[in-house]
Structure 1
Amino acid sequence: MAALSPARAQDNFQTTVRNAILVDVGTQSVLFEKAADELQAPASLGKLMTMAVIFEEIRQGRLQPEQEVVISEDAWRRGGAPSRTSSMYAAVNSRVKVQDLMRGAIIQSGNDAAIALAEAVSGTEANFLPVMATRARAIGLTRSVFRNATGLPDPEQRTTAREIALLADHIIRTYPEQYALYAEREFTWGGIRQQNRNPLLGTYAGADGLKTGYIEEAGFNLAGSAVQNGQRLIVVVMGARSLQERSNEARKLLDWGFRSFELRDLFQEQERIGEVAVFGGAQGSVPVTAGKLVRLLLPRGQSDRVSAQIVYRGPVRAPVRQGAEVGYLRVMRGSQVALQVPVFAAADVEAGTLTQRAMQGAWELGTGWIRGVARP
């Protein structure tokens, strides 16, 4: 999700946590936000960025799930049993498969597992940081700074609720097989059985991820996701004062999101939604489609009028090939922009004759390049 549509219907809802955001994944709509752009310490939510790198390394074939990694003394000392922090409790100098380290980092929030994975990619955790930074920018995290692979305290390590939601969305969409690990309830390593720390799993309908975090500076953080009736929401709460507040506020946000909004289908996947003008073509216009189901999330019982326009820089010059992006569909809810999606040519338009081009040029002198759409 390159951007998130702004919140519209949160006036009657409040949360006690310092920072929060609630996002509908299907429409990329922000349903609620509170100080969502304030920079805060991520705590173990920082491991989401570590895992996004690891998942991409696996997808690119540079890291294999069955590959064994030696647990270095550094990973053991700073993230294992001697650290007295969240740990997988992998023994120093032992060999652990990448797939087990992933479970250790995700389910048990093991700092030893996170450091070992960073070392598997880059040799050292320090060398892993530029890889994290590059990947974060590619995903669209423009403000987040990650100074370690674990989320342990660092004065420079900062993120926002909005960017954590963006990161969570990226993981869910891009790595569905690996994302399934976030739903696993427990993991045993070295004879030590540990439960997943996400309080939503098994207790909230449809919850299947993602991660919790705590350090004194950050408070209690959580990034979670749940699916109900085909709708997926992502919730991020940061700065809660207790485990109970973190859990309660995340649940409250999800409950509110699922019950307060309804999805409306505007255009079907290949439906022709209008036309854009073509200059120099055998035809003076070309039909366009969004190429996917266009849906809008609306507050239940809302009365704002929904309208749509095709916006493009034109006229589009011939020849035009089917599938070429030619503009975007702008959907308005009342006076507010609710949704923008690209539109694509639904047919080929070949170059026209000289006479056709001359006539079209004269006609376009008196027209604009915003076309109304008959629906919604």
Structure 2
Amino acid sequence: MAATGVVLALAVAACGDSGTADTDTDAGAAGSEAPADDASDPATDEAAGGSAEGGTVGVILPDSASSARWETADRPFLQEAFEAAGVTADIQNANGDTAAFQTIADGMINAGVDALLIVNLDSETGTAVISDAAAAGIPVIDYDRLTVGGGADYYVSFDNVAVGTTIGEGLVTCLQDAGTTEGDVVLLNGSPTDNNATLFKEGYQAAIEAAGYGIADDQSVPDWDNTQAGTIFEQIDTNTNGEYVGVASANDGLGGAVISVLERNGTAGTIPVTGQDATDEGLQRVLLGTQCMTVYKAVRAEAEAAAELAIAVISGDTAAADGLATQDVDGTPSLLLEPVAIFRDNVQDVVADGYTTAENLCTTPELQAACDEVGVE
């Protein structure tokens, strides 16, 4: 797959015939540069209802442990997009603490931000924050994770069922490429309090079962905690006597925990393991062959779409906001993007898209050899 395939997939997902967002998909965790001639640049467009310049948006990120993306990708991309539009962005991280999440939100609401953009830790906390913001007349955008039943004004994310389907179909491809046409696989899911994890599982379980594979075990990992993931998978490995042919891991962190167990067992690289987020560590494992694939979610595109939507909201241009968020997810106007499967032979697509660099990936002689072999530069 050429690098342009990534940009094209995003363009198809994000732009309709009129040039506004067209999101005919369902609701899903890295960065994509928009084409130079993209007419919908949030840094220069002013919504018809007024200018967002001088406004303030409060952004609450969930943690830095479940995925590196929140601090290394989402924060800088959001900051860049809002700064370019003359909007002050107060970006804070709850570090996995629901009490801290509420405290941060209270501070932003009391400070009178013009809009909130939140990644909830769970729907209960997210709902409480949305309710408090609504009482203060502050619109809320759910970013990346939908607050189920929370009543956010808008939702920006990836098609999370499609993310799961991409994981499942990726695992099936890896199994069949290895000549394994039957058998049972392990499902290692994300946090049970994260609606995205539920949608991911819906997608990959359906794809795996549709291909004729069974389920050896099915476990969720509280808070996406990688240490717990390793313990849980070790127990699964013991309980199944190692009788599984592949592992559908819901992100690269969980995949890394699985592969650590397989390395101790001497089976890493012989049992396909999936991931998501196209982290440097995940991509390195894909290059080395211990992880069969990951899912690339262009966080820059997601952040820029969220910023454009927030700018329209701050400007009071409801028509522009509604024109961007054309999909309905659980009653919430939504703007959704499409994921891209990354295998060993198209890791370069992620580099070409500007999300990471060859220098970040090709850090050892073994990795450099793998990079040279598949053209990562």
Q: Which TM bucket (shorter chain)?
A: under 0.3
Give the structure with the larger strand fraction.
1
Which structure has more RCO (C-alpha within 8 Å, separation ≥ 6)?
2
Give the structure with the larger helix fraction.
2
So what's the TM-score if we normalise by structure 1? Answer: 0.27
- The higher radius of gyration belongs to 1
